[in-house]
Amino acid sequence: MVYLFDAFELDVDRIELRRSGVLRPVEPQVFALLRLLVENRDRLVSKEEVVGKVWNGRFISDAAISSRIKSARHILGDDGKEQHFIRTLHGQGFRFVADVRTGASRLTVLPSPRHIDEDLPEPTEPGKPSIAILPFRLAGLSPLRPAIGEAVAHDLITALSRLRWLFVVARGSSFRFRPDDFDTVRIGRLLNVSYALSGFIDVFASRVTITVELAETRTGGVLWGDCFASTIDDIHDLRARIAASIVAALEIRVPLNEAARAALAVPNSLDAWSTYHLGLRHLYRFKRGDNATATALFERAVALEPGFARAYAGLSATYFQSAFLRYSEDPGSDATAARRFAERSVELDPLDPFANVTLGRAFWLTGDIDRSLPWLERSTDLSPSYAHGFYARAWADTVSERDLDGSKNIDAAISFSPLDPFLYAMLATRALTCLIHGDTGQAATWADRAARSPGAHVMISMIAVIAHTLNGDPSRAAVWVADVRRRRGDVSQVHFFTSFPFRDGETRRRIAKAMEDSGFH
């Protein structure tokens, strides 16, 4: 379906905005906003509906909404005064007021006027996200030039090539582009990649500053950026730090962007990879209904591509979640399915860190923590910046009290991915490590942070109950007791120790006593 207004064409099938046949770059959320307003042009669209449809109901400030409205107006050549296309009714919402016609999707489109070679063919989307690492640009006077620009980029190609879910273009292709030729849309078409990573190195006296940017080649928009600095003498340590930070950022930014793009597409046109990323979006919400939706999406991904290892890992994760939180009446069956799908994922791709993590976690459901450890350690060996692998290792170390060193791994996980969807679980594990070491004050602080984090499930609130009870703060513990009872009235010690199978010892006895004192038997 194409919506026609003024000189514009909003093509919802191709997820494109064109003006007089020429592509106009538009961010995914802005496109979703335009589509929502155009499709509901016969009525007022409230702010609440905008948040629900564009941001999936997450808490969003009015400033964020205003920013997207402003961006949409800017793309259309409108402004807040004229309001030829989008009209704001203060305190109520928005309405699309231009005349709109409908038509069929065009088969051919003129290229965006961004110096793209006219004879370039339309790229075909690879089966998984792909990226080109470009040689970094240089400024300042330094004997390091120009080798350092290529050295940093080469390090990143090597590091990112270890991510099994990401296709990385070899340096022989990406290094063809010189610093004055970084048109990301053109590079995307030439190399047929979804993303491009570029950087700028500034050398002044003995200081080196390196700035990096991750861009989506379809629109040329920047998805993420960061800045790093050190002395020239520490340049090799800086290269390693940049590589670790970028690997961690890509693990979050690329899947989120893939899911956002997939959400705008017509469901029947989704390929296996897009379907998989939509499944991840629902999986990380840790709710019964979302888990069921994620299961269906992963099953569809497997049906579309039977050899898709990560889709099987996703299925394992949904059944793990169902068993862990007792969504069904048969957690034993869920545990069996979690292990079966994880084993299939590892069979298809033994070098995928996610596959190894899911197989390791599957052993947790039967209380066999020791058998999980080799798989969890393998995941971080395969990808030294894999935050979920370090989190899982920390969890296993903590619950088994194997070496009382879970805090080291959980600190690594939080450092690698400070905005992770599993951040609440990382914070809760940090609280448990403090309990094991007898630091109940710090345990209560970390548990509060975990339970207040987005996505935290009921067992995280239970950890807050335990931490505050052991810290001698019954009033604060009562707040989280009420939260647990409100969310699930049948939670018991059996539920908790099935999910967190602490070995029979002093820590388990202290936790059990704290739960009993708070009314959980």
For every residue of 436-487, DSSP letters joined together read HTT-HHHHHHHHHHHHHSTT--HHHHHHHHHHHHHTT-HHHHHHHHHHHHHH
d(CA 27, CA 452): 30
Residue span(s) of the chain under CATH 1.25.40.10 come to: 265-384
Q: What percent of the chain has pLDDT over 70?
A: 87
- The CATH class that applies to domain 265-384 reads mainly alpha
Rounded Cα–Cα distance for residues 139 and 251 (Å): 30
| Residue in this structure with the two tokens 């370090």, named with its chain if needed | 390
Topology adopted by domain 130-260 = Rossmann fold (3.40.50)
The single residue listed with the structure tokens 């270890």 is 162
**β-pair partners for 19:** 8, 22
Q: Where are the strands (E) in 45-98, listed by range? A: 45-46, 86-89, 93-96
The pLDDT of residue 475 is 94
CA 83 and chain centroid, separation: 35
| Identity of residue 58 | R
Residue carrying the six token digits 């093509």 = 11
Measured distance CA(251)–CA(416) in Å, rounded = 10
Whole-number pLDDT of residue 179 = 59
Collapsed DSSP state (helix, strand, coil) of residue 177: coil
- The pLDDT, as a whole number, for residue 441 is 95
d(CA 212, CA 231): 18
If you ran DSSP here, which 8-state letter would residue 399 be given? H
C-alpha distances (whole Å) from 109 to each of 22, 31, 91, 120 are 7, 18, 39, 13
Structure tokens at 244: 């670790």
- φ and ψ at 168, to 5 degrees? -115, 125
Q: What's the pLDDT score for residue 220? A: 82
In the prediction, which pLDDT does 74 show? 84
Half-sphere exposure of 325 (CA within 13 A, CB side): 23
Can you give the pLDDT at residue 162?
A: 74
Say what the pLDDT of residue 271 is.
Answer: 75
CATH architecture of 398-521: Alpha Horseshoe (1.25)
CA gap 111, 22 in Å, rounded: 6
How far is residue 285 from each of residues 143, 164, 294, 421, 477, measured CA to CA in Å?
A: 50, 24, 10, 8, 25
pTM above 0.75, yes or no: no
Position of tokens 């001698």? 472
pLDDT in tens, 154-194: 778 877 877 777 788 877 778 777 655 668 888 888 888 88
Q: Is 48 exposed, middle or buried (0-12, 13-18, 19+ CB in 10 A)?
A: exposed
CB 250 within 8 A of CB 225: no
Cα(296)–Cα(27) distance, rounded to whole angstroms?
28
**In the chain, what's the furthest Cα-to-Cα distance?**
74
How far is the C-alpha of 510 from the C-alpha of 512, rounded, in Å?
Answer: 5
Give the percent of the chain with pLDDT over 90. 27
The pair of three-digit structure tokens given for residue 398, joined into one six-digit string? 């903590």
CA distance 415 to 387: 8
pLDDT beneath 70: ranges in the chain: 56-60, 80, 104-127, 139-148, 178-182, 260-270, 403-405, 419
CATH class of 2-103: mainly alpha
Q: Where in the chain is the domain with CATH 3.40.50.10070?
A: 130-260
Q: Check residue 141 and give its pLDDT.
A: 45
Amino acid at 1: M
Decide the pairing of beta strands 93-96 and 86-89. Answer: antiparallel
**What is the pLDDT, as a whole number, of residue 113?**
36
Q: How far is CA 188 from CA 181, 192, 354, 412, in A?
A: 12, 5, 27, 33
76-78-82 Cα angle (round to 5) = 155
Helix axes 369-382, 387-400, angle to 10 degrees: 160
How far is CA 22 from each of CA 2, 194, 407, rounded to the nearest angstrom?
14, 20, 54
What is the enclosing helix (H) or strand (E) of 104? none
Cβ contact 283:294 at 8 Å: yes
Contact 115, 186 (CB under 8 A): yes
User: What is the pairing mode between strands 195-204 and 137-139?
Assistant: parallel
Count helices and strands in the chain by DSSP H and E runs: 21, 14
Q: Which residue in the block uniquely carries the two structure tokens 């996980």?
A: 413
In the structure encoding, which two tokens stand for residue 359, read together?
A: 């197989």
Q: Provide the terminal-to-terminal Cα distance of the chain, rounded to the nearest Å.
A: 57
Pinpoint the alpha helices (H) of 171-234: 171-174, 184-191
